[in-house]
Amino acid sequence: MVEFLNQFGGIGLAFLGGGLAAALCCIGSARGTGLAGEAATGLLAEDPGQFSKCLILQVLPGTQGLYGIVIWFFTLLQMGVFGGGGMPNLTITDGLKFFVACLPMMLGGFLSAIYQGRVAAACINIVAKKPDDWAKGIILCITVEFYAILSLLASFLMLLNIGSWLS
Amino acid sequence: MAIAKMKKIKGFAMQADRDTLLRELQLLGCLEVSEMGDAPEEKEWLEGLEGSETKLSEYRDRLQSVSSAIKALDKYAYVKSAMFKNRSEIKLSSFFDEQLPEKAMNYVSEIEAAERELLRLYAQEDKKKAALAFLELWLDLDVPLDYTDTNYAGVYFGTIPAGSNFDVFHEELKEASDRVQAIVAGSDREQTGVLVVFHKEHIEQVNSVLRKFGFNRVAFKDYTGTARENHDRISSELASIREEINKSLERLKELGEGREAIKLYYDRISQLIAIEETKEKLIETDKVFAFKGWIPADRVSAVEKVLDKFCSAYELTDPGKDDNVPIKLVNNPLTAPLTMVTEMYSLPSYDGVDPNPLMMPFFTIFFGIMFNDVGYGLVLILLSLIVRAKVKLRGTVKYMMGLMTLCGITSAMVGLLTGSFFGDAIPTIAGLYGKQISLPYLFSPMEDPLLVLIGALIIGFIQIIVGMAINAYMLIRDGKFLDALFDVGSWWLLFAGIGVLAMGGTYWVALAGVAALVLTQGRSKPTLIGKIIGGIASLYDITGYFGDILSYSRLMALMLAGGVIATVVNMLGSLPGSIIFYLIIFLIGHVFNMGLNIVGTYVHASRLQYLEFFGKFYRDGGKPFTPLSLKTKYVDIIKEEN
């Protein structure tokens, strides 16, 4: 058991980190875009002409999923998966470093996407009542988005320098 | 390049000339008439005067019916139009063609009638369909549906629920009475149609069995003959109704020929409504009316020329302090597209500055940094140029296309610096053919992210400094030199001090900045203690500036995210090693990435203007200049020289 952990635990943890960053961000984005989409159906049933505005509001919480994929990709890159040199060799400590580096994106992306989705859903009201002012709703959504960007930066900068910290 | 100077006009003219005068002003399109009645002398005039009678509601009703006729045509006589189609152009004289109203209204009433007829036919069709469905159960019964009770025999048509067994039902009936007969007419999933004939002597016994089985009587009012006969009759009626529906639809299609006339008339009524709405803002007596409004200073002579043709008296003044002056932004083609960004926020107030030229370089460069890709940039440029070549644009779409061109150029330029062409498409394609090519680049967000991050923060710092400089300029322009020195100068001193400190220099400059802030920032407070506390509290704003600058880190993060996704797309596409598969993935992936990125990038670039830049100097709240003018939806009017 201990031997198994020593041999595969590190790489497992690293994959877990990258995978969760992608998965949680995607779940958050799915939930966020879902919330906005549901809200939009109510309006579109009345006024199908507002489709493009609703669509833009709906895709706004979708970016977190992309950020998650960026971190996932970068984790794999830093692990050396794409190097073609076979399975990378990571100690458990190394694996944990990867996992922790992915943490900001995991949580930040997951939660911010949901909250952004709720703002986007509420902004459908603006489209319904004051279609000309809907762009202000976008600004409200983007305010939430910034924290996903900060999470992305935090994870990214940790991953970037991880090479020099690996044992 | 600025906010247009406005002149305020107040005047009188003859009631008899009113309509012609307003029409001429509408053609000129540079006078905004504002509501009378807020100044004291206007209130006095209003005493005892009734508001002028206008045809506004009549015109609005007509516009309503014209627009529903257009909708009906779009629904029943749909003509697919090209995606980018120019509006048809029309000469001013034919726009006000005298025969047009009658011709258009004829079409409108015919369309209305045809649509009403169509709806009536649809309702009938539904009714007939329901009747057919109703008869379905009884089709196999060869007893006429108008078969009724005789002196001794009772006749019930009715249904029992599908769950009840007919044989058991029949058995119980037989037990209850020896003179009863039941026949199954037909059954569907929910019920069985049954005809029960019985002797009236046993009506009680029969009824109790019927109740037990949930027998539900059906009345065939207005039917004669068997169900089959009725079914055939209604079917043929339905066929003829459908024929009529087709005829109506054909008729509506034919009426589609009136589309142009109706649309033209729609625009025509819109102009009349604009004039009537203007009339409501005037004060009128039997002979004279009073008006006031705004004219851009450079168009004053044109308006004067029109007014002088009529018997009128007017005075022109500069806007006063309390006037809510309408805002018109005057820009060159390079800065005009930014109006789109400005309008999304709020127009500047009359004593503010036009932000378009100020943010033009920042906005486009920010967009370029976040979008950084030669390929994507070229796509933006091409798309916008194609649309601009094909269609005469106006309004927001025109600004949008202009902005697309500008941002495409900056994106391609930044893309050149980072060496990205659809991500790493060129090295990837070369790799598919077993070759190695790499584009030259100056820096890459993947390899030196810290450099890019610091660069982004420095650019942000520059924008913030520029914003503060604009604020200082506005304060000095308004004669508030000390305010400029205290509010902007103190902060710059502090920034400079931090810079000197960071280079390992003396801390005295920074300290001087802090002292300047503490001494000046509380100056508006009434008490000495208030002044001191206000001054010290202002130091807390340093976190605000810190946050503002950090906010520009998004430039680097989005630059990275877009680039990485593009790389992932290329990598996915190249996995199977076939160029065809690669091209398919390339197309889908990059369209997707571009689409998402355009929205995100545009909004983030705008946000940096709104919060970080405008926050430093912008005075908003201007209302747009909306002159009485020709505003059309379907046609373009060409003004002839007369």
Q: Answer whether residue B366 shows pLDDT above 80.
A: yes
Cα gap B316→B292, rounded to integer Å: 10
Q: Say how far residue B367 (Cα) sits from the centre of its chain.
A: 24
Residue type, B80: K
SS (H, E, C) B287-319: CEEEEEEEEEHHHHHHHHHHHHHCCEEEEEECC
Q: Which two tokens stand for residue B565?
A: 């996704």
Vertex B304, ends B301 and B305: CA angle to 5°? Answer: 90
Whether B144 and B221 have beta carbons less than 8 Å apart is answered as: no
Say yes or no: B32 and B67 in one domain.
yes
Question: H helices of B372-448, where?
Answer: 374-390, 395-418, 425-432
- Chain A residue with CA closest to B600: the answer is A60
Domains held by chain B: number: 3
Q: Which of residues 223-252 of B touch A (CB under 8 A)?
A: none
User: Could you tell me which residues are beta bridge partners of residue B191?
Assistant: B161
User: Could you tell me which residues are beta bridge partners of residue B327?
Assistant: B624
**pLDDT of res. B411:** 95
Banded pLDDT at A85 (limits 50, 70, 90): low
Cα gap B365→B377, rounded to integer Å: 12
Let me know if residue B89 belongs to a domain: no
Domains and CATH numbers, chain A: 2-165 (1.20.120.610)
Selected residue of B397, B564, B601 to mutate for chain A interface (largest A Cβ count, 10 A)? B564
Q: Which of residues 447-486 of B touch A (CB under 8 A)?
A: 449-450, 453
Say yes or no: B321 and B354 in one domain.
no
Cα gap B292→B8, rounded to integer Å: 7
- Run of H or E including A108: helix A92-129
Cα gap B116→B108, rounded to integer Å: 12
Cβ pair B607:A70 closer than 8 A: no
DSSP sequence for B503-520: TT--SHHHHHHHHHHHHH
Whether the CB of B610 is below 8 Å from some CB of chain A: the reply is yes
Q: Answer whether residue B540 shows pLDDT above 60.
A: yes
Residue with the two structure tokens 């046609």: B635
Residue type, B284: E
Q: For the purposes of burial, counting CB atoms within 10 Å of the CB of B244, is it exposed (0-12), middle (13-18) or buried (19 or more)?
A: middle
Vertex B500, ends B497 and B506: CA angle to 5°? Answer: 90
Cβ pair B560:A70 closer than 8 A: yes
**pLDDT of res. B48:** 66
Q: For the purposes of burial, counting CB atoms within 10 Å of the CB of B81, is it exposed (0-12), middle (13-18) or buried (19 or more)?
A: exposed
Cβ pair B560:A157 closer than 8 A: no
Q: Which residues of B touch A141 (CB under 8 A)?
A: 603
Query: Radius of gyration over alpha carbons of chain A, in Å?
Result: 19
Sort strands B635-638 and B88-91 into parallel, antiparallel or unpaired.
parallel
Q: Answer whether residue B450 shows pLDDT above 70.
A: yes
Residue type, B231: H
Say yes or no: B280 and B390 in one domain.
no
Selected residue of A55, A78, A112, A152 to mutate for chain B interface (largest B Cβ count, 10 A)? A152
Residue type, B372: N
User: Could you tell me which residues are beta bridge partners of residue B314?
Assistant: B11
Let me know if residue B506 belongs to a domain: yes
Q: Answer whether residue B102 shows pLDDT above 90.
A: no
List phi, psi (to 5°) of B575.
-55, -50
% of residues, chain B, pLDDT over 90: 20
Q: Answer whether residue B1 shows pLDDT above 60.
A: no
Point out the residue among B561, B603, B607 whose CB comes nearest to the CB of A152.
B561
Let me know if residue B460 belongs to a domain: yes
Say yes or no: B320 and B397 in one domain.
no
- Chain A residue with CA closest to B598: the answer is A56
- Chain B residue with CA closest to A60: the answer is B600
Residue with the two structure tokens 């107040």: B10
Q: How far is A115 from chain B (nearest CA, A)?
A: 17
Cα gap A28→A148, rounded to integer Å: 11
Whether A36 and A113 have beta carbons less than 8 Å apart is answered as: no
More confident residue, A3 or B68: B68
Q: What is the pLDDT of residues B431-440, one digit of tens each?
A: 888 888 888 8
SS (H, E, C) B102-156: HHHHHHHHHHHHHHHHHHHHHHHHHHHHHHHHHHHHHCCCCCCCCCCCCCCEEEE
Cα gap A40→A53, rounded to integer Å: 10
Say yes or no: B408 and B453 in one domain.
yes
**pLDDT of res. A40:** 93
Q: What is the pLDDT of residues B286-334, one digit of tens each?
A: 888 888 899 999 888 888 888 888 888 888 888 887 788 899 888 888 8
Q: Which two tokens stand for residue B65?
A: 């019916």
Q: What is the rounded (10 degree) CA torsion for B298, B304, B305, B308?
A: -170
User: Could you tell me which residues are beta bridge partners of residue A80?
Assistant: none
Q: What is the pLDDT of residues B567-582, one digit of tens each?
A: 888 988 888 878 899 9
Q: Answer whether residue A153 shows pLDDT above 90.
A: no
**pLDDT of res. A105:** 95
Point out the residue among A69, A143, A157 whose CB comes nearest to the CB of B568.
A69
Let me know if residue B94 belongs to a domain: no
Cβ pair A63:B600 closer than 8 A: yes
Q: How far is A92 from chain B (nearest CA, A)?
A: 26
Cβ pair B564:A149 closer than 8 A: no
Banded pLDDT at B517 (limits 50, 70, 90): confident
Q: Which residues of A touch B556 (CB under 8 A)?
A: 153
Q: Answer whether residue B642 shows pLDDT above 50.
A: no
Neighbours of B625 (CB within 10 A): 19
Q: Which two tokens stand for residue B217?
A: 């009587």
Q: How far is B519 from chain A (nearest CA, A)?
A: 34
Q: Answer whether residue B81 shows pLDDT above 80.
A: no
Q: Which residues of A touch B606 (CB under 8 A)?
A: 139
User: Could you tell me which residues are beta bridge partners of residue B2?
Assistant: B330
Whether the CB of B557 is below 8 Å from some CB of chain A: the reply is yes
Q: How far is B209 from chain A (nearest CA, A)?
A: 50
List phi, psi (to 5°) of B6.
-115, 150
List phi, psi (to 5°) of B160.
-120, 150
Say yes or no: B496 and B357 in one domain.
yes
Q: Answer whether residue A84 shows pLDDT above 70.
A: no
Cβ pair A157:B596 closer than 8 A: no
The widest CA-to-CA distance across chain B, in whole angstroms, is 124
**pLDDT of res. B630:** 85
By residue count, chain B amounts to 642
Q: What is the DSSP letter of B87?
A: P
**pLDDT of res. B409:** 95
Let me know if residue B93 belongs to a domain: no
User: Could you tell me which residues are beta bridge partners of residue B91?
Assistant: B638
Q: Which residues of B touch A67 (CB under 8 A)?
A: 561
Say yes or no: B196 and B277 in one domain.
no
Distances (CA, A) of B101 to B66, B116, B270, B274, B502: 11, 22, 13, 17, 76
Q: How far is A5 from chain B (nearest CA, A)?
A: 31
**pLDDT of res. A20:** 96
Q: Say how far residue B364 (Cα) sits from the centre of its chain.
A: 24
**pLDDT of res. A89:** 78
Cα gap B157→B316, rounded to integer Å: 89
Cβ pair B553:A149 closer than 8 A: yes
Say yes or no: B211 and B300 in one domain.
no
Cα gap A73→A19, rounded to integer Å: 9
Let me know if residue B90 belongs to a domain: no
Cα gap A39→B37, rounded to integer Å: 44
Q: Identify the three-state secondary structure at position B329.
A: strand
Point out the residue among A70, A138, A149 whose CB comes nearest to the CB of B554.
A149
ipTM of the complex: 0.72
Q: What is the mean pLDDT of chain A?
A: 87
List phi, psi (to 5°) of B636.
-105, 135
- Run of H or E including B199: strand B191-199
Q: What is the pLDDT of residues B453-477, one digit of tens each?
A: 899 999 999 999 999 999 999 999 9
Let me know if residue B310 belongs to a domain: yes
Q: Answer whether residue A98 shows pLDDT above 90.
A: yes
Q: Which residues of A touch B449 (CB under 8 A)?
A: 156-157, 160
**pLDDT of res. A114:** 96
Range of the domain at B278: 2-79+261-329
Of A57-66, B47-56, B91-100, B238-247, highest mean pLDDT: B238-247
Q: What is the pLDDT of residues A134-152, one digit of tens each?
A: 878 888 888 898 899 899 9
Cα gap B137→B145, rounded to integer Å: 12
Let me know if residue B240 belongs to a domain: no
Say yes or no: B367 and B497 in one domain.
yes
Q: What is the pLDDT of residues B392-441, one digit of tens each?
A: 777 788 899 999 999 999 999 999 999 899 988 888 888 888 888 888 88
CATH number, domain with residue B214? 3.30.70.2750
Say yes or no: B197 and B318 in one domain.
no
Over residues B262-266, the mean pLDDT reads: 89
Q: Answer whether residue A86 shows pLDDT above 70.
A: no
Q: Answer whether residue A120 shows pLDDT above 90.
A: yes
Beta-carbon contacts of residue B387 (< 8 Å; ≥ 6 apart) = B84, B393, B401
Over residues B39-53, the mean pLDDT reads: 69
Q: Which of residues 184-203 of B touch A (CB under 8 A)?
A: none
Q: Answer whether residue B110 shows pLDDT above 60.
A: yes
Say yes or no: B397 and B521 in one domain.
yes
Banded pLDDT at B203 (limits 50, 70, 90): confident
Cα gap B642→B638, rounded to integer Å: 12
Say yes or no: B530 and B410 in one domain.
yes
Q: Specify whether the backbone of B153 is left (phi greater than 0), alpha (psi in -120 to 50) or beta.
A: beta
Size of interface A-B (CB pairs under 8 A): 59
- Chain B residue with CA closest to A151: the answer is B557
Burial pattern B84-123, b for ≥16 Cβ within 10 A else e, equals eeebeebeeeebeeeebeeebbebbebbeebbebbeebee
> What is the number of helices (H) and of strands (E) in chain A?
7, 0
